[in-house]
Amino acid sequence: MSGGLLVAGTTSDAGKSVLTAGICRWLRRRGVRVAPFKAQNMSNNSAVVVGPDGRGGELGRAQAMQAAAAGLAPDLRFNPVLLKPGSDLASQVVLLGEAVDTVTAGNYHALRPRLAATAYAALAELRAEYEVVICEGAGSPAEINLRAGDYVNLGLARQAGLPTIVVGDIDRGGVFASMFGTVALLDAADQALVAGFVINKFRGDLGLLRPGLDMLRQVTGRPTYGVLPWALDLWLDAEDSLAYGRVLGRPAAPRGTDWLDVAVVRLPRISNATDVEALATEPGVRVRLTVEPAELAAADLVVLPGSKSTVADLAWLRETGLADAVRTHAAAGRPLLGICGGFQMLGRAIHDPVESRRGSVPGLGLLPVEVTFDRRKTVRRAEGTAAGDADVPVHGYEIHHGRVSAADPGLPPLLRYADGAGEGARLGTVYGTHWHGAFSSDAFRRRFLTEVAGAAGRTGFKVAPDTSFAAARERTLDLLGDLVEEHLDTDALWRLIESGPPPGLPFVPPGAPG
């Protein structure tokens, strides 16, 4: 068998990523060898894969999550093209895990054939190796200004003969109009691949919705394969930090008498915001993303996360007054953590001839280090221990151009590599590290939060000894599989995956503009 399916959406963040993961988990439960695929992803949230040659490469974090749902290790072919936006006009191009170019509106047209050929070849390889490949689209397939060069949505479906379902987020409103309009703006050949719909994030009486589903079928000739309910517990591994809202997850009641309040600065080009998800799984820890200087004053811990544009985001911190708020927080002896780009911002100076090309700029001056950007990007997995406690293992990954090029002698590291070399820095209650994912290591997370709570005066805060971040992620994947099994017509989905687009699907006028 070499079945396949494209999960498209009426909009970005309609639920494509989670539905793809849920279908992968459902098929895995059936004993099917299934793999995820997204031809092109635009996201600054990425994961690291180590290839057979030992070199590290990047793919979208959503595809790493989908791979876990399918019971697979991440494979760079699952997301052959990753665009990492560095500004509103330019993105770094990561091709099969390696940064190869910078793309703008001006040169994308010339680069697109190479990207499309790479994506098509990767999908062909996966379909030869796996029984089923579940493909995720990007944005909306009805972006008519981009259709001519599309190789992610119906361009991919046409090339590979994939049946397509369209998922829409009913919580946003207008779901029937957006589903009808998505089909009606496609040409006849594209419409012939769109088999039906899935509605996401429904809360209410399904009986009230059902007449709308019947009318949608009447006007499009296509069924709705199911209605997925709103699920509060689906927040881990968000592809875009904007999907979080202000507070991450559902904070559980503290095990002690005190809560711990964590404020994460939502940088304009925030990357790997998923780093702080592990903190939010701890009972009694409230993690919120903010752009308000006043909210930093009340926080027990302030986090400067990663950034795809470190120098530009540092300038934004100063323009918004957040830089002063960060300094005030640190001057009061309250804990401050910088991760990757956030760590670089905490130093004395950043020397950047690569990313921003602005040369040397002053940092926030809260750690006695200087950072220099190299053209060669560091992309690797990292293993080691907490500095000062070899019995606390830490696992993470690195994705950065900047490296510490100068530091005060004797500055204590935050972590240690497996070979004993120090990594990151700490000075009083200011901490910094280049490692993403370090707080997914349960023992290190507990150790860090205990120290932070003491420094913040939250003496009644106690970490939970049984919290497992890996188990929390696995519960999320199981929930996705459960939602697919319980709320979608899986028999109809299986026929679609196995047999391809149904014949005789009607044309919905007016079709694509001429």
Please give the positions annotated as active site: 340, 436
202 Rama sector, left if φ>0, alpha if ψ -120 to 50, beta otherwise: beta
- Strand ranges (DSSP E) for 253-296? 260-265, 270-271, 285-290
For 227-260, b where at least 16 C-beta lie within 10 A, e where not — what string? bbeebeebbbbbbbbeebeeebbebeebbbebbb
Give CA–CA dist 206/210, Å, rounded. 6
Give CA–CA dist 503/422, Å, rounded. 62
Closest CA to 58 of 460, 473, 436, 425: 436
What distance lies between CA 184 and its chain's CA centroid? 31
Closest CA to 480 of 71, 13, 17: 17
Helix (H) or strand (E) holding 378: strand 369-386
Two tokens, residue 118 = 């790479």
Contact assessment for residue 287 and residue 262, using Cβ atoms and an 8 Å cutoff: yes
- Degrees (nearest 5) of the Cα angle 483, 488, 494? 115
Contact assessment for residue 498 and residue 471, using Cβ atoms and an 8 Å cutoff: no
Contact assessment for residue 512 and residue 147, using Cβ atoms and an 8 Å cutoff: yes
Number of neighbouring beta carbons within 10 Å of residue 490: 18
Number of neighbouring beta carbons within 10 Å of residue 406: 13
Two tokens, residue 85 = 């936006």
Two tokens, residue 263 = 């404020």
Provide DSSP, 127-140.
HHHSSEEEEE--S-
Number of neighbouring beta carbons within 10 Å of residue 478: 14
β-strand partners of 287: 262
Backbone angles phi, psi at 265, to 5 degrees: -75, 120
Beta pairing, strands 430-433 & 425-427: antiparallel
Q: Strand, helix or coil at 332?
A: coil
Give CA–CA dist 184/372, Å, rounded. 52
